[in-house]
Structure 1
């Protein structure tokens, strides 16, 4: 556990026994999760993987932002970023606000390197929990939440947010349909035909859901639903990404990329060779996410749909 740099100097004296208990827990937990070894059996250190994670889930951060939020020495972070750039995993572009500042993003090659690390981390966390009965898992997660809440002063500060990606629950599909209908009508002028299409997709997902090959995520911020995405089996080798949406208040937090990354990692872990999706050319934010993850546009077609003249596009990602 790392002490907060902003801890007040006027705090009451700490018991040596309490210090010993914290240090003992640190030794136990770091050994249990393998922090002292190359992370997840890879060539990366824990710090390098954390930097990869932040690059994969943020919308073009700066090096200054990463150093600040990860409490890393600027020189050390700079060396990590240079290494990533030399491997072709990192790209830089001038900030529109200040040309002297670079915006950072993972390339398609960088996402390809990070995806298996993310999946292995999930697998190891699942294996850690699998050894416990359900009641003990709930107890453990609650205890972790208590530790984080007590030590992280920012967690209780105004404006802080708790972001969760979870499995759908009863009522969520109705929310997904309603959000698509309302948001696309308000922002893009789509008719109720689009809401009907989403309702059909959601109904088919519920009726034919195959948990071995398909998955959906609902994104929440502070317990409020703000987004969704689905992976649907199209064939033995092809999966389809569907119903990616974020409410306006959830934009700018990297959630769209994070939901897309979950789909890619799931499809790759299941052995699919290709992940495909269908979108419209005017949905620039979504298209930017897909392109940054290595999706390639393979087809486009002009058509009249949802009360508009649209250019529909098919995008594909080779997972091999």
Structure 2
């Protein structure tokens, strides 16, 4: 995969946050005003919370230099905090575990760390704390996303506030990726308002896709006539792509339309939306009409697709 370009302004933003946060949590000093470095405490943490493990596993999991880790372990042994035992599965490796003295040394460090975290949270007003925790979780998941098969994916009914998000997501996404102007945002807002105002649960439905508890995509099926349903506003956040969500949302629409007795499904899209077109084609939709036009500040080719149910 080719290297992705990164904007200098984004790099500056990350570095500025790093400077702010490392100073805020006191990482530039000795850890929590003790005689330990942050790395030493992290090694103690791993030894305290995991079954006996090898130095090689610590090097791998903490991404440490082997020589540096060896010096830390030697210090722990000299203090009587660390014991080594023969590894029955590999005689060349020793298993490392904390001694009772090691656990006694680590316990107050862990409590002090908890107290420091609680003190930091107390500086944030209680109503704002969920936003902070959510933001921290978002950073964690974006920098270290779980494997695709471990993601928690839910398709649910729209809730109050979701339609505003649908409009915002579409406007931001298509402006950023295709340069579409506010005409498109106005169109999405009109579709969303019509869905809310005229919604008939007997023959229409909307889905919001969540990935790990975060809104990640949407689609809507509306009544065009007694026999024809229309798929509208299929979209995914960039970080949710590659999970098969676009197909799942489209399949949900098709299944609902068949269950309600519609004979055809139609949709309107643009020729440059290649990913969406591939989903429609793979589900049996057929391109019925293609019309060059100017819309959303661009020269486009509008398309009408149809699926016989």
Q: Given the alignment of the two structures, is residue 198 of structure 1 paired with residue 174 of structure 2, yes or no?
A: no
Residue from 282, 298, 306 that aligns with 1:308: 298
CA deviation map 1:99-136 (0-9, x unaligned): xxxxxxxxxxxxxxxxxxxxxxxxxxxxxxxxxxxxxx
Q: Given the alignment of the two structures, is residue 271 of structure 1 paired with residue 261 of structure 2, yes or no?
A: yes
Q: What is residue 159 of structure 2 aligned with on the other side?
A: 169
Q: After the TM superposition, which segments of 4 or more aligned residues of structure 1 sit over 2 Å from their partners?
A: 157-160
Name the SS of the counterpart of 1:230 in structure 2. Answer: strand
Whole-angstrom distance in 1 between the partners of 2:260 and 2:178: 35
Q: What is residue 181 of structure 1 aligned with on the other side?
A: 171
Q: Given the alignment of the two structures, is residue 294 of structure 1 paired with residue 284 of structure 2, yes or no?
A: yes
Whole-angstrom distance in 2 between the partners of 1:158 and 1:238: 40
Name the SS of the counterpart of 1:294 in structure 2. Answer: coil
Q: Residues 170 and 201 (structure 1 numbering): CA distance in 2 closer, same or farther, change over 3 Å?
A: same
Name the SS of the counterpart of 2:300 in structure 1. Answer: strand
- Larger RCO (CA within 8 A; separation ≥ 6): 1
Name the SS of the counterpart of 2:262 in structure 1. Answer: coil
Q: What is residue 246 of structure 1 aligned with on the other side?
A: 236
Whole-angstrom distance in 1 between the partners of 2:271 and 2:256: 26
Whole-angstrom distance in 1 between the partners of 2:215 and 2:278: 23
Q: Given the alignment of the two structures, is residue 237 of structure 1 paired with residue 227 of structure 2, yes or no?
A: yes
Could you state the TM-score of these two structures normalised by the residue count of structure 1?
0.50
Structure 1: runs of 5 or more not aligned: 1-9, 11-156
Alignment of 1:33-72 (within 5 A): none
Which structure has the greater CA radius of gyration?
A: 2
Name the SS of the counterpart of 2:209 in structure 1. Answer: strand
Equivalenced residues, count: 164
Could you state the TM-score of these two structures normalised by the residue count of structure 2?
0.52
Q: What is residue 77 of structure 1 aligned with on the other side?
A: none
User: RMSD of aligned C-alpha atoms?
Assistant: 1.4
Q: What is residue 226 of structure 1 aligned with on the other side?
A: 216
Q: What is residue 37 of structure 1 aligned with on the other side?
A: none
CA deviation map 1:144-186 (0-9, x unaligned): xxxxxxxxxxxxx955310000000000000000000000000
CA deviation map 1:21-70 (0-9, x unaligned): xxxxxxxxxxxxxxxxxxxxxxxxxxxxxxxxxxxxxxxxxxxxxxxxxx
Whole-angstrom distance in 2 between the partners of 1:236 and 1:304: 31
Structure 2: runs of 5 or more not aligned: 1-50, 52-144
Whole-angstrom distance in 1 between the partners of 2:214 and 2:159: 13
Whole-angstrom distance in 2 between the partners of 1:203 and 1:158: 36
Name the SS of the counterpart of 2:287 in structure 1. Answer: strand
Whole-angstrom distance in 2 between the partners of 1:199 and 1:309: 22
Offset at 1:298? 0.4
